[in-house]
Structure 1
Amino acid sequence: MIRNHCYFFCGIVTIYFSLLIRALASPTLHFNCRNDQRDALLEFRDEFPPTDDSNLSSWNKSSDCCLWNGVTCNDKSGQVISVDLHDTSLNSSLKTNNLEALDLSSNKLSGQIPQDFSKLSFLSYVNFSHNLLQGPVPRSTQFQRQKYSSFLDNPGLYGLEEICGERHVISLDLHETPLNSSLKTNSSLFKLQYLHHLNLSNCNLHGEIPSSLKNLSHLTTLDLSANYLVGAVPTSLGNLKELRVMSLNNNSFFGPFAKSLFSIPSLQSVDLGGNQFTGSIEFVSTSSSELQFLNLDHNKFNGPIPESISKFLNLRRLYLSHNNFTGSIPGSLSKLVNLTDLHLSKNKLEGEVPGFLWRLSTMMICHNSFNSFETPSQETLLVQVLDLSSNSFHGPLPNWICNLKGLSLLDLSNNHFNGSIPTCLRNSIVSLLDMSLRNNSFGGALPDIFGDATKLRSIDVGLNQLEGKFPKSLINCKALQLVNVASNKIKDEFPSWLGSLPSLNVLSLRSNEFYGPLYHLHVSIGFRSLRVIDISHNDFTGTIPPHYFLNWSEMTTLTKGNDYMVNPTKVSRYMGLFPESIYRSMEMVNKGVETRFDRIRQDFRAIDFSCNKISGKIPESIGFLKGLRLLNFSDNVFTSDIPRSLANLTSLETLDLSSNKLSGQIPQDLGNLAFLSYMNFSHNLLQGPVPRGTQFERQNCSSFLGNSGLYGLKEICGSLHAVSPTAQQADEYSEEEEQIFSWVAAVIAYGPGMFCGLVIGHIFASHNQERLTEKFGRRKLIHPKCSLSTSLALSNKHILV
């Protein structure tokens, strides 16, 4: 060990003096690394055993050392001024005079820190944290200027009290520093007895919280959130009597509720959300009279909400969502006169919604079993964010809901409300951002009440029994991003005027009674921001002109990323300003199954015009929509050739042109679309060869059936359907001969048994033709009003259920 230290110190000294001599001997400016500096660094490199994952692989004689990983040179002199070997996987004991910064953190360095650092007069920053160093910290000016965190997690180091002024360290913030370790009981961190603020959030910490954390008795803020910590919360944390803010959310803590925490009198904020705590909760000791924020959501708590929670008289925000709480909302919550936000979503609560809750600004109680309301008094109607979705409410909407003047979100979806949508909602709609009444039993007309809804971003009234005209006052909603009226009985012409809305991203008119042409000669074609449109299962007719899609600008762009549309406000789930239901998009059909899709991604583009009576040629301008991923024109009356411009849709994943009257050949260039994973050309008048390419060869044979002139299907359908372009009839005749011979042989061999089987099979198939066809996909059934099974086959990669 002593010899290793000697070699190491000699290496350090050699590097320092080599750089110093070079700096004194070369007054001329040079922008490249000097040979002697390069050689000194290489000598330093050689003091460490080579490893496969080392970042020092770029350190070699044939390259400029100023370009090496971790090396920084002065822009004017070309001298090496910084060596940063942070997280370089060095594995040795510690072994250059212009250095200004040196970072050797997160390695496996051992031994002592050399005293020779005192010779580096320009050194202003060092970081030796997270190594295996030991011994005294050198008492030099350079070290006296450093922070305590520069030496963190070297259990064998000592002398930090004098060097770093440990008694004066009151705040340590290592947020998002990849520590990649556990909190050791003997960590030097827990010697900071005067520490007030400790932030180790999102540091890749694992293991349990050591009991020695209680030594930090002056802590006022403790943030260990977003790590991989496990185990129970130590009861000893209750001894941190000066603690005000505790954030342990987004870890994997488990076990029963940590009651001891609430014996801390100064506690103002507790966040235990996103863990695996179990059992019931009870506040036996409620000394935390200053508590204002309590988050227990996304755990596994059960039992009733305790009455004792009402003792926290200063509580403002209470989050209990995503647990298994049962029973009703305790009446004692009415004592929490300062409460503004209440989140009880996704539990098993039931009964009546108390009237005192309407004085809150945010009430989110979705996904429970509430079934009625206590009538609130006029002075208590202060709620701004109201989510009552997915409960058991029934009957007409109560009249007092129209008196909610400051509403920004109203979500009543997935209940059993009926009757008409009251026109008095225009009183609440002025401030409204998002409204969802979907999946109820509302009837009558959708009221034309949106003249003053200039802030409205989304309206979803799908899956009701609405009828009549489409409200033209929506033209005033310039902020509108989503319109969903799917699965109603609305009877009107296509609302082409919606194209003038500058932010409209999603439009779903599917499964209504819309009629007439999509295009009018004297009406401009807008929809510049449209990304998803579904007008399937209506009665649209007429032709589409060749230039129809030219102005659909948003679909021409190729957007990458995982952000979601209709999500302009990115807020933490703990802030609770906008619930999950705001992100709802629309219903579409996925490979014959009607599916509810949520959270449409920013890069998702889709057009579904299926199941209408649109005729004429498919517009060539469709080829300009290069961002398009899903295209469904099936079950219409389109004629002529398939436009070759479809080959420009390089992002296309799903293409359905089935059940039309398309003729000519399938464009060969479609075989070059690398992402095209689902296609359907069946039941048209197509002829010629099926394009070559991996994507075509992977399709089901049913995607090409009903086109008697197609050939080249051997790779897809096998020899049974492999029609030759020159001897088609001969092949069919030969095939029939083989089949006849096979049947004769079978009858001779099996006799009466085969006869009985055929009779039974015929009877079974005659009564189950539709089910067999659907299961085995031999042909597509065409319902008089277009079967849902012919609608758009969507990719779950881009629309998340």
Structure 2
Amino acid sequence: MPSPSSSSSAYSLYNSYMVSNFMVSIIVPLFLFSLFVVHVSSCSQIDKLSLLAFSGNISTSPPFPSLNWSDSLDCCAWEGITCDGDLRVTHLLLPSRGLTGFISPSLTNLSSLSHLNLSHNRLSGGLQHQLYSLLSHLVVLDLSYNHLSGELPPFGIDNSGKNSSGAAIQELDLSNNFFNGTLPNSLLENLAAAAAGGSLVSLTVSNNSFIGHIPTSLFCINDRNSSSLRFLDYSSNDFDGAIQLGLGACSKLERFRASFNFLSGPILSDLFDVVSLTEISLPLNRLTRTIGDGIVGLTNLTVLELYSNHFTGFIPREIGKLSKLERLLLHVNNLTGSMPPSLMNCVNLVVLNLRVNLLEGNISAFNFSGFLSLTTLDLGNNYFIGGLPPTLYACKSLSAVRFASNQLEGEISPRILELESLSFLSISTNKLRNVTGALTILRGLKNLSTLMLSKNFFNEMIPQDVNIIEPGGFQKLQVLGFGGCNFTGCININK
């Protein structure tokens, strides 16, 4: 007769066996069901066919591998594709994939697409007439750095700047292509509405061949607190005419670029109301009149580029209020007067270029000692007098200095050796003396690769005891300019 304990053990084993069978009967069907669900849960067939049609018009070439877009795979798993919870394609992102061909109109069937980025490829041809308007969820469109060409077609979005689903364009980048003609009014009006509605953040059309006026005022005409625009870039096109009034209402604008165009007239004062600006880049235009003292109110500026225009008058006296400036490029204008003392407060400057103006004054009296981050200083082609500023030697980060074509006098100080990073030095066309001392000192600049001393040291004897090329001296020198000095004697170039 079995003991009570053996009966209890048998009962436990029986229960464990029944539970195991029960669990297997549940888990196996669930596993098979999950396989079935994975098999049937694939992207929309319309989206898949649209993408396959798009891929049929593009190709890649070595060293870029082919796309893994196969009809046998779920398109939500394809490279560059993201789908939403309804298995509709929302993102098509294939930047820098070596794509060639053209953008197929089949993409217009991707009705849930919100992000399209085909930048940094070699796509060519024009944009299809309805490409943008049928992408009803498009928020970001980036076609930059391709070979796209022709005029932009009309872009149909509703007048609210939103598409039929309620989304709104946030970023549009068509830069670095071969587009031409004017920007379509339909596109501009709807982008303006998107800016006023608080969605448009960035518009970039640089490096094309667009013509007409830059439509700045369209984006800044409503309640100034509602305009969301932060970045406007019209650079390197064929835009002309004056900068339109209205930018002052773009209260969130941070960067404004319109360089390398044919813009004319003054900088309108309402631009100085945009205190959020960190960058103004308007070089290589035909802008005139004075820069305007109001610009010193833009205290968040880090970049001010106004070179190669026709500006006149003084550098704003209180420019030192722009203490965050890192790049100040005002060269090739008609600026007059002296360097304002307040400029010394711009202690974050990295590049200072005032070359080719009509500036004057004793440059040795200017205090450069606070410019500890300065790497490039260009004051050439002005009317400065005095000697090389002794405070300049505190700028230990300097790698390039030009004082050429001024009226500087005196000798080169041994303290210039404190500028150990200096690789470019041009002091041509001044009235420097003592060429022997200059070469003896300058050969100690170990990183110097370009040295321009032309039209100085007039009628001095070329030194015979200073070897230009010898161990320990001018180790990296590649360019040496001595023209127009009327030296006597000869140069020793023997090693």
Is the TM value for this pair above 0.5? yes
Q: In structure 2, what is the equivalent of residue 340 of structure 1?
A: 201
Aligned pair partner of 1:436 in 293, 305, 308: 305
8 Å Cα contact 1:322-1:345 kept in structure 2: yes
Q: In structure 2, what is the equivalent of residue 116 of structure 1?
A: none
Q: 1:445 to 1:362 in 2, by over 3 A?
A: same
8 Å Cα contact 1:482-1:504 kept in structure 2: yes
Q: In structure 2, what is the equivalent of residue 632 of structure 1?
A: 452
Aligned pair partner of 1:614 in 416, 428, 432: 432
- The correspondence of residues 74-473 of structure 1 with structure 2, limited to 5 A, is 206=64, 208-209=66-67, 212=70, 215-219=73-77, 222=80, 242-282=88-128, 284=130, 286-308=133-155, 310=157, 312=163, 313-332=167-186, 333-336=188-191, 337=194, 338-354=199-215, 355-358=217-220, 359=227, 360-371=229-240, 372-376=242-246, 378-428=248-298, 430-473=299-342
Q: Deviation per CA, 1:376-404: give whole Å up to 9, x if none.
A: 27544432100011111112222212212
**Is structure 2 residue 329 aligned with structure 1 residue 526?**
no
Please state how far the C-alpha of 1:464 moved relative to its aligned partner: 0.5
Aligned pair partner of 1:670 in 464, 467, 470: 470
Q: 1:287 to 1:494 in 2, by over 3 A?
A: same
**Is structure 2 residue 421 aligned with structure 1 residue 554?**
yes
Kindly provide the amino acid, as one letter, of the partner of residue 437 in structure 1.
L
Q: In structure 2, what is the equivalent of residue 475 of structure 1?
A: 344
8 Å Cα contact 2:420-2:446 kept in structure 1: no
Kindly provide the amino acid, as one letter, of the partner of residue 137 in structure 2.
E
**Partners in 2 of 1:629 and 1:216 — Cα distance?**
58
Please state how far the C-alpha of 1:280 moved relative to its aligned partner: 1.7
**Partners in 1 of 2:296 and 2:480 — Cα distance?**
45
8 Å Cα contact 2:451-2:480 kept in structure 1: no
Kindly provide the amino acid, as one letter, of the partner of residue 539 in structure 1.
Q
Kindly provide the amino acid, as one letter, of the partner of residue 318 in structure 1.
L
Q: TM-score normalized by structure 1? A: 0.47
8 Å Cα contact 1:615-1:636 kept in structure 2: yes
Q: Deviation per CA, 1:272-301: give whole Å up to 9, x if none.
A: 112222222135364533322111111222
Q: 1:260 to 1:287 in 2, by over 3 A?
A: same
8 Å Cα contact 2:264-2:286 kept in structure 1: yes
Q: 1:377 to 1:554 in 2, by over 3 A?
A: closer
Kindly provide the amino acid, as one letter, of the partner of residue 289 in structure 1.
S
Q: Deviation per CA, 1:145-176: give whole Å up to 9, x if none.
A: xxxxxxxxxxxxxxxx99xx99989xxxxxxx
**Partners in 2 of 1:348 and 1:210 — Cα distance?**
36
Kindly provide the amino acid, as one letter, of the partner of residue 442 in structure 2.
I
8 Å Cα contact 2:306-2:329 kept in structure 1: yes
Which 10-residue stretch deviates more, 246-255 or 442-451? 246-255
**Secondary structure at 1:244's aligned position in 2?**
strand
Q: 1:680 to 1:364 in 2, by over 3 A?
A: closer
**Partners in 1 of 2:439 and 2:168 — Cα distance?**
64
8 Å Cα contact 1:221-1:244 kept in structure 2: no
**Secondary structure at 2:239's aligned position in 1?**
strand
Larger RCO of the pair (alpha carbons < 8 Å, separation 6+): 2
Total equivalences in the alignment:
412
**Secondary structure at 2:368's aligned position in 1?**
helix
8 Å Cα contact 1:664-1:687 kept in structure 2: yes
Q: 1:398 to 1:679 in 2, by over 3 A?
A: closer
Q: In structure 2, what is the equivalent of residue 686 of structure 1?
A: 489
Please state how far the C-alpha of 1:446 moved relative to its aligned partner: 1.3
Please state how far the C-alpha of 1:670 moved relative to its aligned partner: 2.8
Q: 1:268 to 1:391 in 2, by over 3 A?
A: same
Superposition CA RMSD, Å: 3.4
Kindly provide the amino acid, as one letter, of the partner of residue 370 in structure 1.
F
**Secondary structure at 1:425's aligned position in 2?**
helix
**Partners in 2 of 1:668 and 1:448 — Cα distance?**
44
**Partners in 1 of 2:172 and 2:358 — Cα distance?**
41
**Partners in 2 of 1:444 and 1:306 — Cα distance?**
44
**Partners in 2 of 1:533 and 1:668 — Cα distance?**
21
Q: 1:452 to 1:254 in 2, by over 3 A?
A: same
Please state how far the C-alpha of 1:205 moved relative to its aligned partner: 5.7
Please state how far the C-alpha of 1:664 moved relative to its aligned partner: 2.1
8 Å Cα contact 2:368-2:392 kept in structure 1: no
Unaligned runs of 5+ in 2: 1-30, 40-59, 221-226
8 Å Cα contact 1:395-1:419 kept in structure 2: yes
**Partners in 1 of 2:243 and 2:117 — Cα distance?**
30
**Partners in 1 of 2:177 and 2:61 — Cα distance?**
27
8 Å Cα contact 2:101-2:122 kept in structure 1: yes
**Partners in 1 of 2:152 and 2:355 — Cα distance?**
38
Which 10-residue stretch deviates more, 209-218 or 311-320? 209-218
Q: 1:524 to 1:436 in 2, by over 3 A?
A: closer
Larger radius of gyration: 1
8 Å Cα contact 1:661-1:684 kept in structure 2: yes
Q: In structure 1, what is the equivalent of residue 45 of structure 2?
A: none
8 Å Cα contact 1:283-1:309 kept in structure 2: no
8 Å Cα contact 2:247-2:271 kept in structure 1: no
**Secondary structure at 1:260's aligned position in 2?**
helix
Kindly provide the amino acid, as one letter, of the partner of residue 517 in structure 1.
G
8 Å Cα contact 2:279-2:302 kept in structure 1: yes
Kindly provide the amino acid, as one letter, of the partner of residue 139 in structure 2.
Q
8 Å Cα contact 1:270-1:295 kept in structure 2: yes
8 Å Cα contact 2:296-2:316 kept in structure 1: no
**Partners in 2 of 1:281 and 1:443 — Cα distance?**
43
Please state how far the C-alpha of 1:618 moved relative to its aligned partner: 1.1
Q: 1:292 to 1:515 in 2, by over 3 A?
A: same
Q: Deviation per CA, 1:748-777: give whole Å up to 9, x if none.
A: xxxxxxxxxxxxxxxxxxxxxxxxxxxxxx
Please state how far the C-alpha of 1:211 moved relative to its aligned partner: 5.1
Q: In structure 2, what is the equivalent of residue 88 of structure 1?
A: none
